[in-house]
């Protein structure tokens, strides 16, 4: 690492009031893309917020999300705001967030409605009253991660650092997680993994098992390192868009409908498999590759093999960014017809 500051000192774990405010509105609007597990917290939330008259924020979100599938833009947008009930932008809102809300005016209206919702329903009182659950989930997660250093492992692999890392636990977020990163163009970033339950027992959400949890975190944190490079070098990726054609149908089932997203996910999933190889054992790495290939990421073995060259030549390539053009050159060497059979 480039500094004596250890990565784990920049890892923050816990619930976030901005995300829980949005989750409350989503649950009340009958949003389909929350956790499928039976979690008592949902009953607590409904019991608290149903005491109040119907809120504009709930109707607004129901209308907004009616014709769209799952989107990570809604919770990502919350990370650009201060805590409720103020909800003022803390930095410029990116254009893609305005687009997801069908324009800046709609986004502004929704945030105004959220402020009103937070105040009129005493959201902060609910969040404070739920601290016992949040702290229990945090303690369990820290216990699950005891002895691991996911931020240090990721930064060592990429050879660069980010500003901070956050594991945001939400009892009702969808299964697994996703990884926004917030900051100026090309970084460094404040990096997030938003974690939803991977199971529930007796009404309590669970995050794990450990190996799965680590791979989710490595995957989501890796977005902050890989996405900007994929965007920068997209002119090198674009000519190989024909590789997407054999994967189109299977990729669509998991939400990837463009070559850029498919290629970027291949890279991140291959990196996650290599991190599993190094930190969980060779069989864990091989299993990750098999599973990802089975999900439709057919080029992942070739990418992982190229990553082995990066790992063995760190004196020549001290950072992942330095190796990136050679890594994505692998797409030019692939034959989709051969791989299809």
Q: What is the pLDDT of residues 190-238, one digit of tens each?
A: 999 999 999 999 999 999 899 999 999 999 999 999 999 999 999 999 9
Establish whether the linkage from the previous residue to 209 is cis, with ω within 30° of 0. yes
Q: pLDDT averaged over the chain? A: 93
Distance CA 214, CA 278 (A): 12
pLDDT at 114 over 50: yes
Distance CA 341, CA 335 (A): 10
Q: Are 136 and 201 in contact (CB under 8 A)?
A: no
* pLDDT score, position 184: 81
Angle at 182 between CA 252 and CA 8, to 5 degrees: 105
Distance CA 221, CA 168 (A): 12
Q: Are 140 and 207 in contact (CB under 8 A)?
A: yes
Distance CA 16, CA 138 (A): 12
Phi and psi at 196, nearest 5°, equal -100, 165
Establish whether the linkage from the previous residue to 85 is cis, with ω within 30° of 0. yes
Phi and psi at 176, nearest 5°, equal 90, -130
- Which helix or strand (DSSP H or E) is residue 178 part of? strand 176-178
Nearest to 23 by CA among 5, 49, 4, 1: 49
Nearest to 174 by CA among 32, 16, 315, 68: 32
- The count of residues in the chain is 341
| pLDDT tens figures, 283-314 | 999 999 999 999 999 999 999 999 999 999 99
Helix (H, G, I), strand (E, B) or coil at 248: helix
* pLDDT score, position 106: 95
Beta bridge partners of 167: 13, 193
pLDDT at 1 over 70: no
Distance CA 188, CA 310 (A): 22
| pLDDT tens figures, 50-63 | 999 999 999 999 99
Cα dihedral 131/199/222/136 (nearest 10): 20
Question: Cα separations (Å) of 120 from 84, 253, 278?
Answer: 12, 40, 51
Beta bridge partners of 205: 200
Question: Cα separations (Å) of 313 from 248, 302, 307, 326?
Answer: 34, 17, 10, 12
pLDDT at 189 over 80: yes
Phi and psi at 204, nearest 5°, equal -105, 130
Read off the DSSP letter of residue 86: T
Up-side HSE of residue 40: CA atoms within 13 Å toward CB? 8
Domain ranges of the chain: 16-130, 233-341
Start-to-end Cα distance in the chain: 42
| Largest distance between two CA atoms of the chain | 63
Q: At a CB cut-off of 8 Å and minimum separation 6, what does 250 contact?
A: 295, 296
The structure's pTM equals: 0.91
Beta bridge partners of 196: 176
For residues 122-148, give the mean pLDDT: 96
């Amino acid at each position: 690492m480039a500094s004596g500051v250890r990565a784990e000192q920049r890892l923050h774990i816990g619930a976030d009031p901005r995300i829980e405010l949005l989750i409350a509105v989503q649950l009340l609007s009958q949003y389909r893309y929350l956790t499928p597990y039976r979690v008592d917290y949902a009953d607590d939330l409904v019991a608290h917020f149903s005491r109040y008259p119907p809120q504009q924020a709930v109707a607004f979100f129901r209308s907004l999300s009616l014709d769209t599938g799952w989107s990570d833009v809604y919770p990502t947008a919350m990370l650009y705001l201060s805590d409720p009930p103020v909800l003022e932008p803390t930095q410029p809102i990116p254009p893609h967030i305005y687009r997801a809300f069908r324009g800046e005016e709609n986004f502004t209206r929704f945030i105004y409605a959220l402020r009103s919702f937070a105040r009129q329903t005493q959201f902060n009182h609910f969040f404070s009253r739920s601290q016992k659950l949040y702290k229990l989930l945090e303690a369990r997660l820290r216990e699950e991660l005891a002895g691991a250093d996911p931020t240090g492992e990721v930064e060592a692999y990429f050879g660069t650092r980010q500003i901070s890392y956050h594991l945001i636990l939400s009892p009702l977020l969808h299964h697994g997680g996703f990884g926004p990163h917030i900051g100026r163009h090309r970084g460094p970033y404040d990096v997030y993994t938003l974690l939803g339950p991977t199971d529930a027992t007796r009404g309590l959400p669970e995050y794990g098992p450990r190996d799965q949890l680590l791979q989710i975190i490595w995957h989501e944190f890796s977005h902050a390192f890989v996405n900007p490079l994929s965007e920068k070098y997209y002119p090198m990726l674009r000519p190989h868009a024909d590789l997407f054609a054999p994967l189109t149908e299977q990729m669509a089932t998991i939400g990837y409908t463009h070559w850029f997203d498919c290629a970027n996910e291949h890279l991140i999933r291959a990196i996650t498999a290599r991190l599993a190889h190094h930190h969980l054992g060779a069989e864990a790495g091989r299993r990750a590759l098999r599973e990802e290939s089975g999900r439709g990421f057919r080029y992942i073995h070739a990418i992982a093999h190229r990553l082995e060259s990066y790992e063995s030549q760190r004196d020549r390539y001290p950072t992942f960014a330095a190796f990136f053009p050679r890594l994505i050159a692998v797409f030019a060497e692939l034959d989709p017809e051969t791989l299809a059979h």
